[in-house]
Structure 1
Amino acid sequence: MKTLSKYPVLLFLYSAVALFVLYHCKNDKQMPIYEDLGTVKQGIIRNTNDFEKQINDLISLVSENSDEKLLQDKFESIRKTYKKMEWAVEYFLPHSARFINGPALPEIEMDEHTEIEPEGLQVLEEMLYPYDPENKAEVIRMLNKLTNKSNTIKTNFQVITVSKDQVFDALRAEAFRISSLGISGFDTPVSGVFLKEMPYSLNGIKTTLEQISTSRSKDRALKSIVAEINRTTAVLQKNTDRNTFDYVNFIPDHLNKITALMLEFKDQENIPDVEVTTALHKNAATFFSKNAFNPNAFAPGNEFAYTEEKAALGQKLFNDNILSNNNNRSCATCHIPEKAFTDGLAKSMSLENSELSRNAPSLNYAGFQHGQFWDMRKEDLEGQSSDVISNKEEMHGDLNVILAKISQDKTYQAAFKKIYHSQKTEVWQLQNVLASYIRSLAKFNSGFDAYMRGDKSAMTEDQKRGFNLFVGKAQCAICHFLPLFNGTVPPTFKKTEQEVLGVAVNGENKAFDKDPGRGRFHETVASLQHSFKTPTLRNINKTAPYMHNGGYKTLKDVMNFYNKGGGKGFGFTVENQTLSDAPLQLTDKEIHDIIEFMKALDDR
């Protein structure tokens, strides 16, 4: 989006023409509406003006040495104003959004091995809760940077054209943002005021839908959406305590209804899809709809698209020793289906029967990550498979030698030829069928999924309490994002996060594990040292032992580690720890309930 402000007219004229041609050629779809939605833009600009004024007011209050409570109240007003237009900024200006309300962590330029200073509302939150007058100059500096970003919003929305299909797509993304990041308090980890803010995000959706609606939906879907948002807001106003809020029923009873009704609005208004491949299918009514997610959004290109035929061939190869050098090991050796495709060992064993350096990660839901292995050294599953096969300690295979073996097998050759329509099997095709099989392992049929789809008998009372704790008091969901429960950030799912937890060698938590993790490949980036991918918690009950080193034998061990505040809580020096070191103060019963909830994530 950086080019947006440099060549706005040329860029959007070109985009409009290109999209016109695209939709015109697809004569089975209705032509999109390209009129500039001036009313919508004016609303965004008004919110931006309010945002900027409130920032300047806070600068004055800080300069005048006002008391902490007054500063916090004004800051919360700034955040609420931003929430009204979050849907637009996140969609149309994602780069700016990262520096307005992104995590208070450095933005990392991986290719350059450099860090960019964090800024924005989350950085300011850490400075204001509590407020130290010694940081006065730094708070004002950050507020001035926020003012600059506010100007960026206004400048861009004064010149860009926004169409009805884009606006709806942005509003739908915001509804899903609320259902994942919003409901977890992801962007208010210190103040915890997210339940107070959520009505402003919802009303931003409601107001904008009213602006783009016509008579086709006013007395139908729009009316239902407005009524549901009003009901949802009323629930939020009754209880804003993150530790006692009923998340487990709030999501299916309210948030899921809003996203489902938005699809009805889209159909009634005849709004076409924005033609971009996304992780969440355009026809998914909720996060928990069957087949809601598109595995192709995580594939390296169109030719790698998932098919059942590819997955079936991949499954056969996955279980075939032909992939190893001496035909004595298959992928299934270390990834056992009954153990959610782990091996049950603390650390996997090499071909020479010696211990490897890390625990075998689960392959369930691995297809919904941008970064494979604990250290994320490979971007996708295609790269992951070749890395394991060629590793001399794991399979010691050679992809070209394997292709030669496959060429001698008439069954394999016929299958590859049928799928790829080529006379000769290529390395990328071998990688792709294995990756396709792994992508097929995400079932989304746990008790939790059933509950979110309306089956209120699918979880026990302990599990329901556990989910409320998971999202609320324990703050697990600010790293293990709903609904994938991994580190792939919703609602766009374009980035998978890593975390620095300060993990110990084992569950006794007496010695720090010095594995550099992702830092091994970025030695000059301080924030990546000892960082590891945030894995999914789906099927976690089947994948003991835990952590990258397999040092934590049980989920109780893991919960005790988090409850204490991670490595710092145990006295380790972990300057770049991203996990909060504040003790969670969970009781034994609360830990039990959270573990019971995690069992509800087992696929059936």
Structure 2
Amino acid sequence: MKILLKYPLSVFLFIVFTVFGALQCTQNQQPVNEDLAEVKKDIFRTNTDFLNQTNALIRMVSGKPEQAVLQQQFEALRTTYKNMEWAVEYFLPQTARFINGPALPEIEMQEHVEIEPEGLQVLEELLYPYDPANRDEVIRMLKNLTNKSNAIKVNFQAITISKDQVFDALRQEVFRISSLGIAGFDTPVSGTSLKEMPHALNAVKKILQLIATDRSKEKSLVRISTEIEAAVLYLNHHPDKNTFDYITFIPKHLNTITSLMIDFRNQEEIPAIEVTSALNKNVRTFYSKNAFDPNAFVPGKEFEMSPEKVQLGKRLFNDKILSDNHTRSCATCHIAEKAFTDGVEKAMSLTDSPLKRNTPSLSYSAFQHGQFWDMRKDDLEGQSSDVITNKEEMHGDLSRIIAKINSDPEYRTAFRKIYKGRKTEIWQLQNVLASYIRSLAAFNSDFDRYMRGDQHAMTENQKKGFNLFMGKAQCAICHFLPLFNGTVPPNYTKTEQEVLGVAENASNKILDRDPGRGKFHETIAFLQHSFKTSTLRNIGKTGPYMHNGGYRTLKEVMDFYNKGGGKGFGLKADNQTLSDAPLNLSDKEISDLIDFLNALNDH
């Protein structure tokens, strides 16, 4: 059954979520001190400004405003939110979702529920350009923002915040700026992201100054403040997203700030939050060698990786014991030299006939919530068993495979050593295979080396390509730094899907009919023909491209995006989430972009 939630019911759900979040935040907290009282006062002051500006916009829209003046006031409202984004995103994530989330429906998958989008990004679409015919809808969205502002006030009056939480929130905010903010994720229409970043960075500086003690005031705090001021100065002088030098700014300023924050935490003797998270608590930058923890994506503690699991999983991955007739292993279709793809348009069945979709890469698949193109399995454990038991792929029987393993002395001994059990169970087989796949993330590309300080690791054309990737080509608003997939930073709790309007092949004349995620959610129009946003890491090794393998080269892929996806080619892709506006990239710019994408190949 489909339930389409419209207000006021969605407001009710929102209140339930925010109150629940507030109750969670009250548990196991340190007592509030005077410094943190000042932090809360700052949040309240900013929120009051946000509420007043929202009401002023309501009054303005109720009259006959000039578009330029209306947009100017809206941009001021957005920058005010940026001053408290660090706190709202961390302590009240559900509130943040309805203030500044994507202008797309929120989906509750299990209940087939589609929740109407709202907030600043929806308003941006209504105001750029502004049509007076949409006045009532603009006012409705603004009134919803007043409700969220009131929720912020109520929740922060109720919850207690601790110094370790505040620091963690500020650190996450800098990582948010370093991925979503600098890419323009929440300003896709207005393109004002670089103008907003100084406000978010200055908010971080101000709160750090409020929580700092004499331990750091003359040391790391001075260095962070100086670095933030330098970053803000550069941003203020270079507000154009299409000409901004991202490849210089990120390592020179943003990576430096996140690194200095670890020094601040150490000098202040602030304990790290004891929660397993995708981004390791002690890494200095997004691009540190061990920045990401695959264990944040496992279904439970007993599924966590170990070297022994990885080694055993690799052996089984290459063993034909997993297929019914012992003719195929996982490695048959996932070839290491091809970044664990097979290099052909469609995956081939056991009888050498083409299947429906292209074989996806397994490299970096650990950092996704949803496996396969249609995300039908939540984790890699489910992915492995789905492939093994598929009659067209491996046609294996898990019970029979386990019996073979238990009768093999070497396998039996290896499993017992890892799991301390008398007999191997199915979940253990799934887990060792998944553990090996989780290890397939080297993070040693030329791009990674450059971001770690090797100024000669990328060519000048690749640097130009990265700047295009972040700016004019708008790639990074869907393929988020630094994983370059659709798992949303900095919390990494959700992986996004997109509707691109992919055609059957690069002639772009006939829309591909594969429903994607829509096959499992037939009543949700938003999900029809939607597919997971997979990683671009190793993309130079994984052609042909798209879910159907219909695009043989990266040039064909870039031509598709440059035109505006399926709708740009005139295909009937009514629910396309990719903008259909042409990118107007020149042949040289496309060549530079492709050069950059090849810099994402691991060595």
Asked if 2 retains the 8 angstrom alpha-carbon contact of 1:185 and 1:194, the reply is yes
Corresponding residue for residue 482 of structure 2? 483
SS at match of 2:535: coil
Corresponding residue for residue 389 of structure 1? 388
Query: Match for 1:601: what amino acid?
Result: L
After TM superposition, the structure 1 = structure 2 runs for residues 225-244 of structure 1, keeping only pairs within 5 Å, are: 225-244=224-243
After TM superposition, the structure 1 = structure 2 runs for residues 189-588 of structure 1, keeping only pairs within 5 Å, are: 189-588=188-587
User: How far apart, in 2, do the equivalents of 1:87 and 1:436 lie?
Assistant: 34
Q: What is the RMSD computed on CA atoms of the aligned residues?
A: 1.3
SS at match of 1:115: strand
After TM superposition, the structure 1 = structure 2 runs for residues 137-156 of structure 1, keeping only pairs within 5 Å, are: 137-156=136-155
Deviation at 1:35? 3.8
Asked if 1 retains the 8 angstrom alpha-carbon contact of 2:17 and 2:94, the reply is no
Query: Match for 1:144: what amino acid?
Result: K
Corresponding residue for residue 22 of structure 1? none
Asked if 2 retains the 8 angstrom alpha-carbon contact of 1:48 and 1:153, the reply is yes
User: How far apart, in 2, do the equivalents of 1:443 and 1:573 lie?
Assistant: 40
Q: Residues 227 and 372 of structure 1: is their aligned pair in 2 closer, same or farther, counting only changes over 3 Å? A: same
User: How far apart, in 2, do the equivalents of 1:522 and 1:94 lie?
Assistant: 26
User: How far apart, in 2, do the equivalents of 1:89 and 1:460 lie?
Assistant: 40
Asked if 1 retains the 8 angstrom alpha-carbon contact of 2:504 and 2:550, the reply is yes
Deviation at 1:344? 0.4
Corresponding residue for residue 42 of structure 1? 41
Q: Residues 416 and 2 of structure 1: is their aligned pair in 2 closer, same or farther, counting only changes over 3 Å? A: farther
Deviation at 1:64? 1.2
Deviation at 1:6? 4.8
Asked if 2 retains the 8 angstrom alpha-carbon contact of 1:216 and 1:268, the reply is yes
Instruction: Specify every segment of 5 or more residues in structure 1 that has no aligned partner in the other structure, as ranges.
Output: 20-31
Is 1:64 the counterpart of 2:55 in the alignment? no
Is 1:601 the counterpart of 2:591 in the alignment? no
Deviation at 1:208? 0.4
Is 1:89 the counterpart of 2:88 in the alignment? yes
Deviation at 1:4? 7.3
SS at match of 1:108: strand
Query: Match for 1:281: what amino acid?
Result: N
Asked if 1 retains the 8 angstrom alpha-carbon contact of 2:369 and 2:487, the reply is yes
> What per-residue deviation string (whole Å, max 9, x for no partner) do you get for residues 389-437 of structure 1?
0000000001110001111111111111111111110111100000000
Structure 1 stretches of 4+ moved >6 Å? 7-10
Asked if 1 retains the 8 angstrom alpha-carbon contact of 2:105 and 2:116, the reply is yes
SS at match of 1:127: helix
User: How far apart, in 2, do the equivalents of 1:241 and 1:348 lie?
Assistant: 43
Q: Residues 588 and 9 of structure 1: is their aligned pair in 2 closer, same or farther, counting only changes over 3 Å? A: closer
Identity of aligned residues (%): 67
SS at match of 2:52: helix
Instruction: Specify every segment of 5 or more residues in structure 2 that has no aligned partner in the other structure, as ranges.
Output: 1-13
Q: Residues 126 and 12 of structure 1: is their aligned pair in 2 closer, same or farther, counting only changes over 3 Å? A: closer
Asked if 2 retains the 8 angstrom alpha-carbon contact of 1:8 and 1:159, the reply is no
Q: Residues 8 and 462 of structure 1: is their aligned pair in 2 closer, same or farther, counting only changes over 3 Å? A: closer
Query: Match for 1:356: what amino acid?
Result: L
Q: Residues 400 and 271 of structure 1: is their aligned pair in 2 closer, same or farther, counting only changes over 3 Å? A: same
Corresponding residue for residue 591 of structure 1? 590
Q: Residues 566 and 8 of structure 1: is their aligned pair in 2 closer, same or farther, counting only changes over 3 Å? A: closer
Deviation at 1:274? 1.1
Q: Count the aligned residue pairs.
A: 589
Deviation at 1:354? 1.0
User: How far apart, in 2, do the equivalents of 1:200 and 1:9 lie?
Assistant: 26
Deviation at 1:159? 1.6
SS at match of 2:591: helix
User: How far apart, in 1, do the equivalents of 2:454 and 2:570 lie?
Assistant: 44
User: How far apart, in 2, do the equivalents of 1:238 and 1:35 lie?
Assistant: 39
Q: Tell me the TM-score normalized by structure 2.
A: 0.96
SS at match of 1:300: coil
SS at match of 1:402: helix
Query: Match for 2:305: what amino acid?
Result: Y
Deviation at 1:3? 5.7
Asked if 1 retains the 8 angstrom alpha-carbon contact of 2:23 and 2:159, the reply is no
Corresponding residue for residue 171 of structure 2? 172
User: How far apart, in 2, do the equivalents of 1:244 and 1:7 lie?
Assistant: 44
User: How far apart, in 2, do the equivalents of 1:346 and 1:353 lie?
Assistant: 13
Query: Match for 1:132: what amino acid?
Result: D
SS at match of 1:255: helix
Q: Residues 8 and 496 of structure 1: is their aligned pair in 2 closer, same or farther, counting only changes over 3 Å? A: closer
User: How far apart, in 1, do the equivalents of 2:212 and 2:88 lie?
Assistant: 21
Deviation at 1:273? 1.1
User: How far apart, in 1, do the equivalents of 2:22 and 2:239 lie?
Assistant: 44
